[in-house]
Chain A
Amino acid sequence: MKVAVCVKQIPDPADPGELDIETKTLKRDVKLILDESDSYGVEMALQLVGEDGEVVLVSMVPNNERNGLNNALAMGADSAVLVSDDALAGTDALGTAKVLAAAIRRIEPDLVLAATESSDGYTGTVPEQIAELLELPSVTFAKEVSIADGSVSVKRQTEEGYDEVSCPLPALVSVTAGVVEPRYPSFKGIMAAKSKPVEELTISDLGIDSSQVGWSGGGQEIVSIEPAPEREAGEVIEDEGDGHERIIAFLEELKVI
């Protein structure tokens, strides 16, 4: 059993940087880290393959960044494919999916895992786009995943509750945060990660033309970036045993009670 896990390396969400008004892309001079959303996919993959399976990571960046990959390798993944190319800066979700799909095709996995949405761009479209490009069936928003007899069973989040979905392999599944408890890399894991194979590819290695990626490849353009209108703060008072009365008076004023 071979599982490919998409792992995005992103700026720390606690310090997300800013949009560069000139190039209209995210300023990425900061060190990238493993998107926490993807740590669930990595953990899920490790649990599903057990002892004799294989977990291969796939990541796309414009700048050779490996920090986040190393973290996922230290968790226990076996190897990684890193697609890195200057031309990838500003690539939109569809372009990203094309690159990742091409890399995954080479791996020939039984199962592809991704997060339902990344923490920085959160379009939430990349996994389904990858599935369509690879002509794979897919189940998004998985909150429980198990594998038996060549098919994957998923509890899929819905508006009303959840659906149980069954799908033959190979397939793509996107997982929600919290499906499993991601392990912390052990010291041994961190040391072992250093010698694990990371295959580095450019887009031309994947047969992708630079006109399909980058900002120009996207078929969309930013018209403007502006501060959103701010909400004014109202009255803030210290509770001196009368806080609840103030709330009740306020709700009465609003005719809610």
Chain B
Amino acid sequence: MGTIWVHAETQDGQVSSITLELLAKARELGDVVAVHAGNDAEAAAAELGAHGASRVLSAGDLDGGLVGPALASAMAGVVDSEAPSAILFGTTYGGRDVAGRLSVKLDAPVITNVVDLIDDGGLVGVEPVFGGTTNVRTRFTSDKPGIFLVRPKSFTAESIDGGPAEVSEIPIPDLGNSGAAKITSQFVEESDGPKLDEAAIVVSGGRGLGEAEKFHLVEDLAAKLGGAAGASRAIVDAGWVPYSYQVGQTGKVVKPDVYIAAGISGATQHMVGMKGSKTIIAINKDPEAPIFSIADLGIIGDVHKVLPALLEALEG
């Protein structure tokens, strides 16, 4: 179906996992061109190529500016000559900004929260609604390029050992007032162990832990199993753990081999972020908790007994 643009997000030449996921899907659909902002296009070209991009269109360094207005303007400037049929973004902090700005520039809508793309003559986006109980399939009716915002973990990244992508520069037009926001400093929150959305094992805690001081049970178990710790929104909003721990509709989507939910009820907005896990273990004292309806192993019990016993047994 012609050319597919993929928004390539990189950090010091390293391509993000959502970008690699999008590339894997895009190369099934057509010729893949990565669209990028930052000063590391050359460094990322080998990895982007290995995953199926033939070219990289890079807007280059943003000089402290935010990616949204800059990359959207650069993309809009070459959209006619490059004529992509679809433009794929990951649902990330930057991806959403670029997609929103670009949508206005092209006067074209965005299909959001997509978890699958189907080539049906035109491209159809599959969007789960109501906590993932219902799937809506949407397509574009105009002949403008279709802009899609895709949820992380929707596709599986895989290298096809392609040669390095050829990098060319796309100019950023004068942004006027729209480009006036500048990053003055950046902070990285250090954490040990694997990242939440990349870990093979995730242990998440919810309000059932009773108090913030008990979250260490979840962290200790995650560490013991070589996994990452996550949380429900209830305890993020309560300030027990930072937002970066949140799993669900408004947090991270995780698909680990094993997901352990401790003291989490299983609200639809939580489940939409974790029900793609290979296996799910739930510990909850309420036999009626909805989380049990999707758990492969459910333990009706008190987290304050089960978790310490588990930690002790793993110690030995």
Task: Give chain B interface residues in 221-269, CB to chain A under 8 Å.
Answer: 225, 233, 236-237, 239, 243-244, 249-250, 257-258, 260
For chain A, residues 109 to 128, give those with C-beta under 8 angstroms from any C-beta of chain B.
Answer: 117, 122-128
* Chain A residues whose C-beta falls within 8 Å of the C-beta of B149 in the assembled complex: 123-125
- Residues B178 and A220 in contact, CB atoms below 8 Å apart: no
* A130 smallest CB distance to B (angstroms): 9
Contact status A138-B104, CB under 8 Å:
no
Q: Which of B138, B302, B306 contacts A223 (CB 8 A)?
A: B138
Report if A250 contacts B (CB, 8 A): yes
Assess whether A195 is interfacial by the CB under 8 Å rule.
no
A163 touches B183 (CB 8 A): yes
In the bound complex, residues from chain A placing their C-beta under 8 Å from that of B249 are 122
| CB contact between B144 and one of A19, A124, A219 (< 8 Å): that residue | A219
Are A161 and B68 closer than 8 Å at their CB atoms? no
Q: Taking A138-B68, A219-B109 as contacts, is the C-beta distance between A247 and B299 under 8 angstroms?
A: yes
Q: Among the listed A94, A117, A161, A243, which residue makes an inter-chain contact with B186, where contact means beta carbons less than 8 Å apart?
A: A161
Q: A251 and B258: CB pair below 8 A?
A: yes
Say yes or no: B186 contacts A158, CB within 8 Å: yes
Range class of the B interface residue count:
35 or more
Which residues does chain B contribute within 8 Å of A178, judged by CB atoms?
236-237, 239, 243
From known contacts A159-B93, A254-B279, infer whether A223 and B299 are also in contact, taking CB-CB under 8 Å: no
Tell me if B96 counts as interface (CB < 8 A to partner A): yes
Q: Which of A93, A156, A224, A231 has a CB less than 8 Å from the CB of B112?
A: A93
Q: Assess whether B66 is interfacial by the CB under 8 Å rule.
A: yes
Q: B140 near A220 (CB under 8 angstroms)?
A: yes
Assembled-state Cα–Cα distance A178/B130 (Å): 23
The distance in angstroms between the C-alpha atoms of A216 and B103, with both chains bound, is 17
CA distance A167 to B315 in the complex (A): 51
Q: How far is the CA of A156 from the CA of B183 in the complex (A)?
A: 9
State whether A177 touches B141 (Cβ < 8 A).
Answer: no
B194 to chain A, nearest CB (A): 14
Q: Which of B91, B181, B243 contacts A165 (CB 8 A)?
A: B181
Given the complex of chains A and B, what is the CA–CA distance between A143 and B239 in angstroms? Answer: 13
Q: Is the CB of B299 within 8 A of A228?
A: no
Residues of chain A with a CB closer than 8 A to B292's CB: 233, 236
Residues from chain B with Cβ under 8 Å of A92 in the complex: 109
Binary per-residue interface labels of chain A (222-250) against chain B in the complex, 1 for a CB within 8 Å, 0 otherwise: 11111110010111111101011111101
A243 with B293: in contact, given A123-B113, A168-B180 (CB under 8 Å)?
A: no
Q: Is the CB of A234 within 8 A of B112?
A: no
Tell yes or no: A209 within 8 A of B by CB.
no
A166 on the B face (CB < 8 A): yes
Main secondary structure of the interface of A (DSSP, over half): mixed
> Nearest-CB distance from B195 to chain A (Å)?
9
**Smallest distance from the beta carbon of A65 to chain B beta carbons, Å?**
21
Please indicate the chain B residues that have their CB under 8 angstroms from the CB of A138 in the complex: 66, 68-69, 97, 178, 181
A173 to chain B, nearest CB (A): 9
A234/B297 in contact, CB under 8 A: yes
- Is B108's CB within 8 Å of the partner chain A? yes
Is B179 in contact with chain A by the CB < 8 A criterion? yes
Closest to B312 in A: A244
CB-CB under 8 A from B104, the residues of chain A are 94, 97, 129, 132-133
Q: A247 to B184, alpha carbons, bound, how many Å?
A: 48
Q: Does A159 contact B92, Cβ atoms closer than 8 Å?
A: yes
Q: Which of A17-47 contact B (CB under 8 A)?
A: 18-19
Q: Which of B107-128 contact A (CB under 8 A)?
A: 107-113, 120, 124, 128
A202 within 8 A of B: no
B109 in contact with A222 (CB, 8 Å): no
> Which listed residue (A93, A143, A163, A244) contacts B313, Cβ 8 A?
A244
CB distance from B268 to the nearest CB of A (A): 9
Nearest residue (CB) in A for B201 is A256
The residues of A that contact B69 with a CB separation of less than 8 Å are: 132, 137-138
Judge whether A199 is part of the interface by a CB distance below 8 angstroms: no
Assess whether B295 is interfacial by the CB under 8 Å rule: yes
Known: A137-B69, A137-B181. A93 touches B297 (CB 8 A): no
What A residues does B11 contact at CB under 8 A?
Answer: 160
Q: Please name all residues of chain B whose beta carbon is closer than 8 Å to the beta carbon of A94 when the two chains form the complex.
A: 103-104, 107-110
Most central of B72, B138, B141 by chain A CB within 10 Å: B138
Top 8 closest pairs, chain A to chain B, by CB:
A239-B301, A128-B100, A236-B298, A234-B296, A167-B181, A132-B104, A244-B309, A137-B180
- List chain A positions with a Cβ less than 8 A from chain B: 16, 18-19, 92-94, 97, 117, 122-129, 131-133, 135-141, 143, 156-168, 171, 176-178, 218-228, 231, 233-239, 241, 243-248, 250-251, 254, 256-257
User: In the complex, given contacts A162-B187, A247-B310, what are 6 additional A-B residue pairs having Cβ atoms less than 8 angstroms apart?
Assistant: A93-B112, A159-B92, A161-B189, A177-B233, A244-B306, A247-B299
Binding site for A on B (CB under 8 A): 11, 16, 66, 68-69, 72, 91-93, 96-97, 99-101, 103-105, 107-113, 120, 124, 128-130, 132-142, 144, 149, 176-189, 200-201, 225, 233, 236-237, 239, 243-244, 249-250, 257-258, 260, 275, 279-281, 283, 287, 292-302, 305-306, 309-310, 313-314
